[in-house]
Amino acid sequence: MDEDVGEDADGVTTCEGDCDDRFSAVKPGAAEVCDGSDNDCNGLVDEGYDQDGDRAMTCVGGAGREPRGGGRGAG
Higher confidence at residue 23 or residue 65? 23
**pLDDT tens per residue across span 11-59:** 666 677 778 888 888 889 999 888 888 999 999 888 877 777 777 766 7
d(CA 26, CA 42): 11
CA distance 35 to 69: 16
User: Within 10 A of 27 (CB to CB), how many other CB atoms are there?
Assistant: 22
